[in-house]
Amino acid sequence: MQHGQTTTFHRSVFISDLHLGTRGCRSDFLIDFLKRTECEHLYLVGDIVDGWRLRKSWYWHAEFDEVLRLILEKAERGTRVTYIPGNHDEMFRQWLGLQVAGITIRREAVHEAADGKRYLVIHGDEFDGVIRYAKFLSYLGDWAYDTALVINRWFNAARIKLGYPYWSLSAWLKRQVKEAVKAIDRFETALANEARRQGLDGVVCGHIHHAEMREVQGVMYMNDGDWVESCTALVEEADGRFRLIDWAAENRLSMWRSQAEPVPA
């Protein structure tokens, strides 16, 4: 689908790890996606706003407001919007069970697809050993990840000047670390086991910024990715089929840009 074409309709859309409030958030691509995508049910699968970062230093600009406005507009027009807070926006977990501006806040949800299959929808941090048992290490990991993203921006600025295309250094580093790969596999297996324990056909999650669709011991594991590096979404079509959308790749959008200036606090 080329940039500028008409809106596409999906039965359900799952997005997570937007990290509004950080310089790494690709709010420009996200706005484009939200404007050109409609659905019956929109799931916000955690880490929508990055409360960790905003508590340390305030960074907010007009594009972040536009993302929230577009989501609220969808809810007002009749899209069912379910918000499942993650670990970075855990402050909203105190509002579980409430409906705010047409958005229902849940700890987790069960989504029934058009073909009758049922899927657990959960952010997934509960099944991340680092987050659950050593939270201070997760903050250290957050710092290291942000450092990699900063290096990534400068690295790609040089590549662009030399005529080379965008290449994600931080994503490459993650793939090269064996322990990270093992951790991803353990995470995927743990989520699939939880779906099986609840008698469900599969699971939809976020959290680890690694878009994936695969069967794990007879259970379908689906991770919708993020809007920092990969800019991906998971969508369900009218017949119950799921697929991952790589918005930047499908629309030939450049992953390099100068960061927007923050709105004064």
pLDDT of residue 111: 98
Q: Predicted confidence band at 223 (pLDDT cuts at 50, 70, 90)?
A: very high
At 34 the three-state DSSP class reads helix
Mean pLDDT of 44-67: 95
Neighbour count for residue 165 (Cβ, 10 Å): 10
Domains defined along the chain, listed by start: 8-250 (3.60.21.10)
DSSP assignments along 147-169, one per residue? HHHHHHHHHHHHHHHTTPPP--H
What is the distance, to the nearest Å, from the Cα of residue 75 to the centroid of all Cα atoms in its chain? 19
- pLDDT score of 190 more than 80: yes
- Count the residues in the chain: 265
φ and ψ of 17, to 5 deg: 55, 50
Which run of H or E residues covers position 216?
Answer: strand 212-216
pLDDT of residue 257: 54
DSSP state of 111: E
How far apart CA 253 and CA 249 sit, in angstroms, is 7
CB 233 within 8 A of CB 224: yes
Neighbour count for residue 163 (Cβ, 10 Å): 6
CB 210 within 8 A of CB 222: no
Q: Which residue did the predictor score with more confidence, 4 or 120?
A: 120
How far apart CA 6 and CA 231 sit, in angstroms, is 20
Structure tokens at 244: 């991952």
Q: Predicted confidence band at 261 (pLDDT cuts at 50, 70, 90)?
A: very low
- pLDDT score of 101 more than 50: yes
Neighbour count for residue 37 (Cβ, 10 Å): 20
CB 53 within 8 A of CB 4: no
CB 121 within 8 A of CB 82: yes
The string of pLDDT tens digits covering residues 63-83 is 999 999 999 999 999 999 999
CA atoms within 13 A on the CB side of 220: 16
pLDDT of residue 128: 83
User: At a CB cut-off of 8 Å and minimum separation 6, what does 176 contact?
Assistant: none
Q: Predicted confidence band at 6 (pLDDT cuts at 50, 70, 90)?
A: confident
How far apart CA 233 and CA 63 sit, in angstroms, is 19
pLDDT of residue 133: 47
Q: Predicted confidence band at 159 (pLDDT cuts at 50, 70, 90)?
A: confident
* Strand 109-112 versus strand 219-223 pairing type: unpaired
How far apart CA 25 and CA 265 sit, in angstroms, is 19
φ and ψ of 138, to 5 deg: -70, -35
DSSP state of 49: B
